[in-house]
Structure 1
Amino acid sequence: MKLYIRNMVCSRCKMVVASELEKTGIVPLHVELGEVELKKEPTAKQLQQFSDNIKQLGFELIDDKKSKIIDKIKTVIIELVHHSNEELTENLSHHLSAKLHHDYSYLSNLFSEVEGTTIEKYYIAQKIEKVKELLMYDELSLSQIAVDLGYSSVAHLSSQFKKQTGLTPTFFKSLKENKRRNIEEL
């Protein structure tokens, strides 16, 4: 049996969810971003207790098919941008279709309908948040960041950055108080 959990976007989230499963006596086989595979089906009481506990921590059990697909789209994009060092060698549309086993037009229409934005805009927003993070660390040049995130040029990265934030990457880097947003707020 699998459980799908909204807002589970980082390794700390996985640890928190695993801890809450343990507290309620539910035994997981695997805890991944947005998804938990269970050893056996929990009782209704265990499931309700787990749901209540994680809701207080900002997570939510997902029970309808469309919400699960939306959450999987977000999880794939977050993994791709924030947790993978591999460069995307195919179009995002092909990558999502292959990962989620659905036609991209279906995924795109569903995402836009439910989220009020496109998959591409969500992907760009995630990439810009990663750029902000890398700029704050001040370990990589803008050229290196552009290459690492698959931008065709520094100019392209800078253009998207300014469109998203209203600031140039250089000006953003010079600010003392960088205004990054939580992944789940995007």
Structure 2
Amino acid sequence: MFLKRSMKKKILVKNMVCNRCITFLEQEFKKVGLVVVSITLGEIVFLEKEGVDEAFIESLLSKNGFELVKEVGMMVNEQVKIACIEAIDNLEAATEENLSAYLSKKLKKDYSVLSKMFSKQEGITIERYYINLKIEKVKELIQLQRLNFSEIAYSLNYKSSSHLAAQFKSVTGMSMSEYKNLQQWDRKSLDQIV
């Protein structure tokens, strides 16, 4: 008797932007009997299962707000987004070099190639996307009320709190103080930032 050996399948997933997404998708895959070998932001490796095809996986992801990444350009853009999110979450690692050098090194691609692909598909530059991510992080930190504006600026590697204040106002149309005093905070989820 021969045992059929399961093959590993690797997929890239769009809108997978936080640890909760990882936990949620791991649970969803297990619910349908798929064995997850590894799971990180934007990537799932699982053992193939008879009767589970790409359409099934695509349906499982889309009903939960995720998307299967199929095109090469889309894959690269998701990797750029994930690397930017990781850079903000781990600023100490990313501060040793500028964003372009960090992304080139992390993704092992020339930054000009990454930049062109990203801008073409997303309609925004990588730099603008990164700034938008940082501003959403600032909003989060303001809401937590643990740090003052200067500490927030320092924690996100701004040269000064006035630089952060100017950038915040440019992106949101209001000052950080005005935002802090709002009754309803206007925040975007990371998968909605572009």
Match of 2:76 among 59, 69, 94: 69
Answering whether residue 125 of structure 2 is matched by residue 84 of structure 1, we say no
Aligned counterparts, 1:131-142, within 5 A: 131-142=138-149
Q: Percent same amino acid among aligned pairs?
A: 39
Task: Give the match for residue 50 of structure 1.
Answer: 57
Letter in 2 for 1:89: E
Distance in 1 separating the partners of 2:183 and 2:38:
40
**Does the CA contact (< 8 Å) of 2:103 and 2:111 recur in 1?**
yes
Match of 1:94 among 89, 94, 101: 101
Distance in 2 separating the partners of 1:47 and 1:14:
19
Distance in 1 separating the partners of 2:91 and 2:76:
24
Q: Using a 3 Å threshold, how does the CA distance of structure 1 residues 46 and 24 change in structure 2: closer, same or farther?
A: farther
- Three-state SS of the structure 2 residue aligned to 1:152 is coil
Letter in 2 for 1:134: L
Task: Give the match for residue 168 of structure 2.
Answer: 161
- Show CA shifts across 1:27-64 (max 9, x none): 222111111123x3444624432321220110011111
After TM superposition, the runs of 4+ consecutive aligned structure 1 residues lying more than 3 A away are 40-44
Distance in 1 separating the partners of 2:58 and 2:50:
12
**Does the CA contact (< 8 Å) of 1:5 and 1:62 recur in 2?**
yes
Aligned counterparts, 1:112-151, within 5 A: 112-151=119-158
- Three-state SS of the structure 2 residue aligned to 1:86 is helix
**Does the CA contact (< 8 Å) of 2:37 and 2:45 recur in 1?**
yes
Distance in 2 separating the partners of 1:155 and 1:62:
39
TM-score (norm 1): 0.93
Task: Give the match for residue 184 of structure 1.
Answer: 191
**Does the CA contact (< 8 Å) of 2:12 and 2:68 recur in 1?**
yes
**Does the CA contact (< 8 Å) of 1:34 and 1:75 recur in 2?**
yes
Distance in 2 separating the partners of 1:11 and 1:34:
11
- Show CA shifts across 1:89-143 (max 9, x none): 1010000001111000000000000000000000000000000000011110111
Task: Give the match for residue 32 of structure 1.
Answer: 40
Distance in 2 separating the partners of 1:112 and 1:144:
32
Gaps of 5+ in 2: 1-8
Answering whether residue 35 of structure 2 is matched by residue 12 of structure 1, we say no
Distance in 2 separating the partners of 1:144 and 1:182:
23
Letter in 2 for 1:35: E
Task: Give the match for residue 4 of structure 2.
Answer: none
Letter in 2 for 1:86: E
Letter in 1 for 2:17: V
TM-score (norm 2): 0.90
**Does the CA contact (< 8 Å) of 1:161 and 1:168 recur in 2?**
yes
